[in-house]
Structure formats: structure tokens, C-alpha cells
Amino acid sequence: MESQLTLRLPGALSEKLERSAKRMKRKRSDVVRLALEQFLDTEPDLRPIERVRDLLGRIESGVPDLGQRHREHLIRRLRRGE
């Protein structure tokens, strides 16, 4: 059984939808359906950091408090001309 959804769009979003529908030669409702499927299939319940966590690494600098005092270390290094 299909269900119907009615929603209001801000003007700018409505214009973008209209342009996309014309470019794709589809109905606005088709474009909305496609966008909604894509959005829901990308696990929107995950925080952005969770999507890239496996890409993050770490660098061993040898400076134990670099994370907390990075500005001070940077200024000191710039003054020494390194």
C-alpha cells in the first residue's frame, strides 16, 4: 500500500527541486522519492565522525602535550624559525 506525504518547502529548496526535476526529466515527486531513498540508505543516524572514523589516524610527534598546548608549541617553533 502506498502512502501520501504532504510537505511545505522553502522557496529556495522548491526552486532547486524544480530545476532538478526538469534537468532529470522527471516529476518532482520522483526526485523527492529518489532523494529520500538515498538519504535513508546512507544511515543518517550516524554522526559524521562515525562515517570517517576508520580513515582517521594519529601522528606520534614526541611532544606529550601537543594536543592541549598546540598553539604555544606552534608559536615557539615559528619564533625559532623552524
List, for residues 23-77, the tens digit of each pLDDT value: 999 999 999 999 999 888 876 667 777 766 766 766 677 778 877 888 888 888 8
Element (H, E) at 2: none
pLDDT value of residue 43: 66
Is 54 a domain residue?
Answer: no
Phi/psi for 27 (5° steps) reads -75, 155
Is 39 a domain residue?
Answer: yes
Is 82 a domain residue?
Answer: no
Is 42 a domain residue?
Answer: yes
Overall number of domains in the chain:
1
Is 76 a domain residue?
Answer: no
Locate all alpha helices (DSSP H) within 25-69, ordered by sequence: 28-41, 48-52
pLDDT value of residue 49: 75
Structural domain range at position 19: 9-48
Is 43 a domain residue?
Answer: yes
